[in-house]
A and B are shown apart, each in its own frame.
Chain A
Amino acid sequence: QKEVEQNSGPLSVPEGAIASLNCTYSDRGSQSFFWYRQYSGKSPELIMSIYSNGDKEDGRFTAQLNKASQYVSLLIRDSQPSDSATYLCAVNTDRGSTLGRLYFGRGTQLTVWP
């Protein structure tokens, strides 16, 4: 069983602040890392993917990966009320017996208040 742990929420930040979401994973063989956003009652949608150590920026979103520490994070700068959602961390190994398996964390609920 591959474990993906996310910091327990809910997380509440004021509009304009930086929201920081964290995720750790147990399988050192993990190769691909994703952040999905899920609005209440909706399906998950991919917002960031990262495959190598370091930072990856896309607009207000920055994903950070540290494979040595088995840690991946998502920073949301200038948070907006529309960012209020549950954020799911997902990892997979891309190889071996677990090829084809995507493991999700339980999600962190983020609320951005005006």
Chain B
Amino acid sequence: EAQVTQNPRYLITVTGKKLTVTCSQNMNHEYMSWYRQDPGLGLRQIYYSMNVEVTDKGDVPEGYKVSRKEKRNFPLILESPSPNQTSLYFCASSLSPGGGSNQPQHFGDGTRLSIL
């Protein structure tokens, strides 16, 4: 089954404790992306990756890191989480960038992070 898998689905942690949210896709997609979703603000892109070893900042990259060492994986790293990073996070992948050329983005189920 084609899917984007995020882990963990839920996490409550404390300020400053490094955490990693994993994202894996089994569709051989080149393009992957991380979004955060906050009430009233919609989906905002954090980072995206066009291919292995190619990453770029989205609209809200501060406080986050990513890496793309393998095509299927795109982890999101919070080196020193703060309460303002409490949010719902989505990983997405697509065959081509931005959902163009009739290739939609496939979203993972989401990770709800609470930073105390």
Per the CB 8 Å criterion, the residue count for chain B at the interface is 27
A32 is an interface residue with CB less than 8 A from chain B: yes
Q: How far is the CA of A43 from the CA of B5 in the complex (A)?
A: 12
Residues of A contacting B99 in the complex (Cβ-Cβ under 8 angstroms): 32, 34, 46, 49, 90, 92, 102
- The contact string, 1 if C-beta is below 8 Å from chain B, for chain A 62-101, is 0000000000000000000000000010101110000111
Contact A104 B100 (CB under 8 A): no
Number of chain A residues whose Cβ lies closer than 8 Å to a Cβ of chain B: 24
A100 touches B98 (CB 8 A): yes
Of all chain B residues, the one with the shortest Cβ separation from A93 is B98
Residue of B nearest to A98 (CB): B98
Nearest CB on B from A65, distance (A): 15
Query: Does the CB pair B50–A100 fall under 8 Å?
Result: yes
Task: List chain A residues, Cβ under 8 A from B97.
Answer: 92, 94, 99-101
Contacting residues, chain B, for A88 (C-beta < 8 A) = 42-43
Q: How far is the CB of B68 from chain A (nearest CB, A)?
A: 13
CA separation between A1 and B59, bound complex, in Å?
8
Contact (Cβ within 8 A) A100 B31: yes
Interface of B is mostly: mixed
Residues A106 and B42 in contact, CB atoms below 8 Å apart: yes
* Chain A residue contacts of B108, Cβ below 8 A: 43
A44: interface (CB < 8 Å): yes
Given known A101-B58, A104-B42, A106-B41, contact A32–B110 (CB-CB < 8 A): no
- The answer to whether residues A102 and B42 also contact, given A34-B104, A44-B107, A49-B104 and a CB cut-off of 8 A, is no
Listed in ascending order, the chain A residues whose CB lies under 8 Å from chain B are: 1, 31-32, 34, 42-46, 49, 88, 90, 92-94, 99-107
Partner-A contacts on B (CB < 8 A): 31, 33, 35, 40-45, 48, 50, 56, 58-59, 90, 97-102, 104-105, 107-110
Contacts A/B (CB < 8 Å), 18 sampled? A32-B99, A34-B104, A43-B109, A45-B107, A46-B99, A88-B42, A88-B43, A92-B98, A92-B99, A100-B31, A100-B50, A101-B45, A101-B48, A101-B98, A102-B33, A102-B105, A104-B43, A104-B44
